[in-house]
Structure 1
Amino acid sequence: MQFNVEDSIKLSIHNLEIGMFVTGIEDNKRVNLANAGRVSNQKAVNQLIDNGVKFAWVDVSLSAAGCKFVPVAEEESEQSEQEHGITAGSSSVPSSTDVVRKPKSYSRDNHQKKAKKLITEARSLAQKLMNMTFSGKVIEVDIIEDWADDMIESVLIDPDALQCVSALRKKDAYLLEHSVNVACLLVTFGRFLGMEKETLKQMAIGGIIHDVGKIKVDDKVLHKPGKLTPEEFEHMKLHQVYAEAIIENVNGLSQVSRDVCLTHHEKLDGNGYPLGLTAEQMPVHGRMSGIVDIYDALTADRCYKKGMNSAEAFKIILSLTPFHLDKDLVYKFINCIGVYPVGSLVELNDGRVGIVWSSNEKESLKPEVKCFYSNKFKRFTDVAFVNLKSGGAKIAKAISPNSLSFDPAPFYEV
């Protein structure tokens, strides 16, 4: 059963009606997700009241017509939290703001809020750059530099927080999100390789603009929900030719940023485009951007395909070595983001489904996983952070968001 998180509202249990679709209840000082479903009779409501349940979260869009929704007043909600000893944001509900989490002292909270702000700003920035390009305006690189500085700081402080936020995608925004994700992944990759901060900054700028030439590609080709004809593919390849002309109007652009933008479709054997560069001619920044570009494209939903899980994407990327991609860099990229990257979805050996929450550099197969659903019992569970370094739980497989019958988006929040 799929529910719309944005339409979930908090009600007093006494205002719960037959026909309402419940997505969570406040039960025993926390929110329980295992009771998701439609209220079928008054007896069910009475039982919740008898069990001490005070509030329920209801999805308006999945509730029966005619239900009257009376949201809890903010004061009433705060009073209940104080009575239960619950701090703000400590409960787990299927919304973007209420999720069971670790103690408030856990620094990931603030880091992820900052990361979310950075990603939002980056998507707005990418849209602004495309609008300026479409209008033929000159772009000053300093409008990107401030964001790049903040993003690098975020990666240096808590790369897991940024990676988790950037992994959460929205439908119909591929071009913007792809540019932002490539920038973030390049900085994460560059940091892993020990590159200097200024180089990371220039790679971030190149990542944001790396697909700017697509603004001049025919929309029918760019958004075609199927395989391109040879003629259409030749037209698509022109986006790199367009990009070269466009970035001439970006004042202050460095060579590193140019390399990221203009060489991410080149191949080591010389069969790439637009220039057909050979391995000897390809700078390391171009080689890195080619790997990152392919990885993000493979794991994203597109108009013509569903996104792959990370394991499937790595398999394809490895198959492109050593003729198209740099084999040494590909292995380093996989080691950088992990076999199960932060933000990806996995299923544990006991059937629990969760988000890879924190990386483990020493043991990449044993990250921390935020579990919230059971594939075995087909129901939501209490949110639990499982550290695979201890205990018998282990990852059984990586899974794709589209393989689930519900939207996992709310669980990406801290």
Structure 2
Amino acid sequence: MFVAEVTEQTGRFSVKSGGFVRSQKSINNLLAKGVSKVLVDLDKSEHEKEPEVAPVSTAVPVEKVRPKTSFKDEIGKAKKLYNQAKTLQRQALKNMKAGRPIDTGGMKEVADGFIDSIFRNQDALACMTRMRQKDDYLMEHSINVSIIMTIFAKHLQIDEKTIHDLATGALLHDLGKINIPDEVLHKPGRLTDDEMVIMRSHVTLGYDILRESSDLSPTILEVVRDHHERLDGSGYPNGKNENELSQFAKMISICDTYDAITASRVYQNARTPIMAFKILRKESGTGFDANLVAEFINCMGVHPVGTLIQTKSNKLGIVIKSNFVNPLCPVVKVFYSLANKGYIPSKTIDLGAPGVEDEIAQSVKPEDYGIDINRIMTEILD
């Protein structure tokens, strides 16, 4: 295999120009120098010609090479991936409702696609999570949580095999809701105590069916089972406390809650990402892990990609790229003048660039200005 660079080590060994690793002896030398992970260029590798060499993955984990792409180049791929995921999710809900097997293999392929896209340019799929159809909440919610979970896990530098399990688990986590009666699932008002018991049963309904699948890992099933558990034991279905919950369970609870808060549902209008962050912070230490909440906000950005914002120059725009050096100054695409109360030719502005004096005044809700955010995003992102 052709080693491009060392990505994880305990020493100071470096690969200056890249080169082939052709023998177990070479692998052992890398290990002896403290190298634990390398980046391999599969296009240049010749490992298929030397079957007698032990697979490198048994000694040094191999990371997939994914060239970085621009938002413009990735958004088309992201749209296609998202639509494929919706088709698969729709079929999975129908199958569960009818008692038929779920295509878990297809779910894993979708997770693979999400991971590839997010490692190339995470902003594209992040933007797709903001393009919602109110009547498709159940289907889109799991897709969005899977995307957000993948971005979060990447930020935490979790290994890719585990990220794949986390993304797959998130795709499957709410399938049990399809077996909740519509009058409870779509009730516009507050649920009664009895209705709440029925609603909460969706976790067990989904988990019990999915755990019969032989190809779902313990991590995938854990994400499904524990996504409504809370640190103080107030969650469900098992009332687990902080010491009984893994990092992955704590992560899925944050991602699931964030997407639910920022979505419009029959009984609740969507709230801004900033409001969602405030709620997560308020419940940190009791419901959510405080350190993970802080990392999640850092990962998503103060103004997450896809957020509708108002600038100090009185224009409306959409955040299309985060700025992790200066989170208050992302890249935005403005399209509407509040002063003239009309649309303007869309323009990309890097608020962190030298000489740019405009800035974000606040996050806003599309409905407050009569903005069809899905139509606008489709037009300006094409």
TM-score by length of 2: 0.79
Q: Which runs of 5+ in 1 are unaligned?
A: 1-105
1:410 aligns with 2:375: yes
SS, match of residue 363 in structure 2:
strand
- The alignment status of 1:198 with 2:191, answered yes or no, reads no
Deviations 1:73-124, CA, capped at 9 Å, x for gaps: xxxxxxxxxxxxxxxxxxxxxxxxxxxxxxxxx9323310000000001111
AA partner of residue 408 (structure 1): I
Matched, 1:330 2:293: yes
Aligned to 1:183: 146
Match of residue 394, structure 1, among 344, 359, 362: 359
Q: In structure 1, what is the Cα distance between the partners aligned to 2:195 and 2:213?
A: 28
Cα separation, 2, equivalents of 1:244 and 1:141: 13
Residue 165 of structure 1: how far off its partner (Å): 1.6
Whichever residue aligns with residue 251 of structure 1, its letter is S
- 1:171, CA displacement in angstroms? 2.5
Residue 132 of structure 1 deviates from its aligned partner by 1.4
- One of 181, 185, 206 as aligned partner of 1:222: 185
SS at match of 1:158: helix
The yes-or-no answer on 1:167 pairing with 2:134 is no
CA contact 1:148–1:204 (8 Å) conserved in 2 = yes
By how many angstroms is 1:248 displaced? 2.2
The answer to whether the 8 Å contact 1:183/1:208 transfers is yes
Distance, in Å, in 2 between the alignment partners of 1:182 and 1:345 is 20
Aligned AA (1:136): G
CA distance in 2, matches of 1:295, 1:366: 22
After TM superposition, the structure 1 = structure 2 runs for residues 153-302 of structure 1, keeping only pairs within 5 Å, are 153-302=116-265
SS in structure 1 opposite 2:200?
A: helix
Contact 1:141 1:251 in 2 (8 A): no
Paired residue secondary structure (2:267):
coil
What is the identity, as a one-letter code, of the residue corresponding to 1:284? Q
Displacement of 1:386: 1.1
**In 1, Cα distance between the equivalents of 2:176 and 2:70?**
39
What is the identity, as a one-letter code, of the residue corresponding to 2:343?
Answer: F
1:85-104 matches, cutoff 5 A: none
Shift in Å, 1:260:
1.2
Q: Distance in 1 between matches of 2:104 and 2:376?
A: 36
Structure possessing the higher relative contact order (Cα contacts under 8 Å, 6 or more residues apart): 1
Query: Residues 285-308 of structure 1, C-alpha deviation per residue, up to 9 Å, x if partnerless?
Result: 111110011110000010111100
Partners of 1:232 and 1:257 lie apart in 2 by: 28
Aligned length: 309
Give the 3-state SS of the residue equivalent to 2:266 in structure 1.
coil
SS state of the match for residue 310, structure 2?
A: strand
CA contact (8 A) 2:211 2:221 kept: no
- Name the counterpart of 1:146: 109
How far is 1:140 from its partner?
Answer: 4.8
The CA deviation at 1:166 is 2.0
Are 1:241 and 1:274, in contact at CA under 8 Å, matched by a contact in 2?
yes
Gaps of 5+ in 2: 1-68
Letter in 1 for 2:185: L
Partners of 2:339 and 2:187 in 1: CA distance: 37
Contact preservation (8 Å) 2:92, 2:103: no
Identity of aligned residues (%): 35
1:304 paired to 2:267: yes
- The answer to whether 1:367 aligns with 2:330 is yes
Label 1:147 to 1:140 Cα distance change in 2 as closer, same or farther (>3 A). Answer: same
State the one-letter code of the partner of 1:405: G
Work out the CA distance in 1 between the residues paired with 2:212 and 2:96. Answer: 9
| CA displacement, residues 242-291 of structure 1 (integer Å, 9 cap, x when unaligned) | 12211123331111111111101101011110011111110111111100
Distance in 2 between residues matched to 1:273 and 1:372, nearest whole Å = 44
Alignment of 1:369-384 (within 5 A): 369-384=332-347
Determine which of 315, 327, 330 is the counterpart of 1:352. 315
Does the Cα contact within 8 Å between 2:187 and 2:267 map onto a contact in 1? yes
| Conservation of the 8 A alpha-carbon contact between 1:138 and 1:249 | no
Q: Name the CA distance, whole Å, in 2 between partners of 1:167 and 1:340.
A: 12
Report what 1:318 is aligned to: 281
- Separation (CA, whole Å) in 2 of partners of 1:133 and 1:316: 33
**What is the DSSP-based 3-state SS (H/G/I as helix, E as strand, rest coil) of the residue aligned with 1:116?**
helix
Q: What RMSD in Å do the two structures reach over aligned CA positions? A: 1.3
Greater Cα offset, 369-378 or 321-330: 369-378
Q: Distance in 1 between matches of 2:169 and 2:365?
A: 28
SS of the residue 1:139 aligns to? coil
